[in-house]
Amino acid sequence: MKLEDILCGMDYEITSGSDGVDINEIQYDSRKVKSGDVFICIKGYKTDGHNYIDNAFKNGASVIIYSESIESLPECTTIKVEDGRKTLAKASSNYYGNPSSRMKIIGITGTNGKTTSTFMIKSILESAGYKVGLVGTIANYIGNKKLHSERTTPESLELQRLFKEMVDEKVEYCVMEASSHSLYLNRVYSVEFCEAIFTNLTRDHLDFHKTFENYYQAKLILFKNTLNSIINIDDKYGARVYKDAIGNKVTYAIEKPADVKADNINMHSRGVEFDVTYKSEKKHINLNIPGKYNVLNALGSIGACINEGIKLDVVKSGLEKLKAVPGRCELVTDGYNLGYEVIVDYAHTPDGLENILKSVREFTNGKLIAVFGCGGDRDNTKRPIMGKIGTDLSDFAVITSDNPRTEDPMEIIDEVVSGIEKQDYIVIENRREAIKKAMEIAKEGDVIVIAGKGHEDYQILKDRTIHFDEREIVADIIKQLAIGN
């Protein structure tokens, strides 16, 4: 492929060589460069691609694309651009034949609810007869084929490659999580969205964005580049998004008047039922996923699909076919006769923890027991906040380790405990033992919520990553307790 074709639609300066050269592949990691590749310098979290230009050239790069002032460049074609990340995104799209323009893409952003919403929309679209791709935190999907996911939203090169695979396999819709990181870092730059959903905005990722306003502005990027916005106006930032977004806007809510509205909500441990109203049409929905906040996730999904011309009968069928979303208010004791329930949830933010505990409280007949901690190498200011929320909203809490990463687990726990004002809690650093303790003390009618890791099947420690699947652990503890160990 010609370099000029890859750079089509972009402004650039040829500082050496010619844009008429043939190139092999695009790379932004110098270690992956092979003969004839183009190396695009981008700034990462901890390093800068400009520092690896010589390595890329030694590995065979025939083209270097850069954006910073460089004293000495290798003897090959060199191109200067204004923004390396935007160049990587657009060049990747061009290289793979602009695949996002050959599918309809629905993007979802917000602090919480993105993953559940993607699964809901995928189920609805499949019920309408479409082949659907999914890009998200748990995994990526091409139809029913599951692919490993490294991060919520891949880097633009990998994202465009995935889109190309979807197009090759006749995918008609792709529904994807658009994280604040991906929006700010231009991973989804040049992606054409047909619908954009705003779920909510609460405290998270301030270790990266530094201020809440920066976090909001990162999320807003999606709504300044999409003509159809679906907005949760029950969230306090929804009104601001509504004002700042462009194009057609559809609102959804439980509490406030909205275009897509839910009422007559009835929650239980196996799911939630509600009536949805859109214009003059009303349907009764029976979700298999518990939690009032999942009603909001369903409403946003309904709004996007209605916008795409899908009838409410089909929407209802698609939502009711979805049995569960891994690690999202997931009941892991289904099939066991314990007398109490255990729910695993990914809630790892103050708002996420508050949502899951308040929702579960509404169908808990006995005591609500919370097991949670906070991850290491992340925003530490939320730790005491989560400590207070977790203990205030539960009857008993077990404070434990999450993914400590490079930090000392007990130092993280101490910061969580510093926000606690009640006495109804204990500290057990070992997460498996913490879960076991909660199950030992649970009685008839109680519900245990294990929060923080959800779908994850690993735990990240200082020196290694270990296998840690809470569904497996709960099942194993049930067997142990049954024999009296």
What tens-digit pLDDT sequence spans the chain (485 residues)?
Answer: 999 999 999 999 999 999 999 999 999 999 999 999 999 999 877 789 999 999 999 999 999 999 999 989 999 999 999 999 999 999 999 999 999 999 999 999 998 899 999 999 999 999 999 999 999 989 999 999 999 887 778 999 999 999 999 999 999 999 999 988 889 899 999 999 999 999 998 855 455 546 878 888 888 999 998 999 999 999 999 999 999 999 999 999 999 999 999 999 998 888 999 999 999 999 999 999 988 999 999 999 999 999 999 999 999 999 999 999 999 999 999 889 899 999 999 999 898 899 999 999 989 999 999 999 999 999 899 999 999 999 999 999 999 999 999 999 999 999 999 999 999 999 999 999 999 999 999 999 999 999 999 999 999 999 999 999 999 999 999 999 874 44
Enumerate the known binding-site residues.
Answer: 30, 110-116, 152-153, 179, 187, 378, 402-405, 452, 456
Q: How many CA atoms lie within 13 A of 147 on its CB side?
A: 20
How far apart, in Å, do the first and last CA atoms of the chain sit? 65
Closest of 116, 133, 136, 108 to residue 319, by C-alpha: 116
Nearest to 24 by CA among 63, 51, 55: 63
Local structure of residue 58 (DSSP, 8 states): H
- Cα-Cα-Cα-Cα dihedral sign, residues 473, 476, 478, 483: negative
Give the pLDDT confidence score for residue 209 in this predicted structure. 44
What is the distance between the alpha carbons of residues 198 and 238, in angstroms, rounded to a whole number? Answer: 8
Predicted local confidence at residue 444, as pLDDT: 96
Q: For tokens 């092979």, what's the residue?
A: 34
Instruction: Please give the annotated binding residues for ATP, written as ranges.
Output: 110-116
Domains of the chain (ranges plus CATH)?
A: 3-95 (3.40.1390.10), 99-321 (3.40.1190.10), 330-482 (3.90.190.20)
Closest listed residue to residue 258, CA positions, set 216, 295, 313, 287: 295
| pLDDT at residue 484 in the model | 41
For tokens 């690993």, name the residue. 458
Long-range contacts of range 332-336, CB-CB < 8 Å, 24 or more positions apart? Answer: 332/470, 332/471, 332/474, 332/475, 333/474, 333/478, 334/270, 336/478
Please answer whether residues 454 and 345 qualify as being in contact, where contact means their C-beta atoms are separated by less than 8 angstroms: yes
Report the alpha-carbon distance of residue 392 to residue 370 in Å, rounded: 10
- Looking at residue 485, its pLDDT comes to 40
DSSP for residue 22 = B
Burial of 405 (0-12, 13-18, 19+ CB in 10 A): middle
Which phi and psi angles does 273 have, rounded to 5°?
Answer: -115, 145
Q: What angle do CA 358, 360, 363 make, to 5 degrees?
A: 115
Residues annotated within the binding site for meso-2,6-diaminopimelate are 378, 402-405, 452, 456
- pLDDT the model gives residue 346: 93
Whole-number pLDDT of residue 210? 60
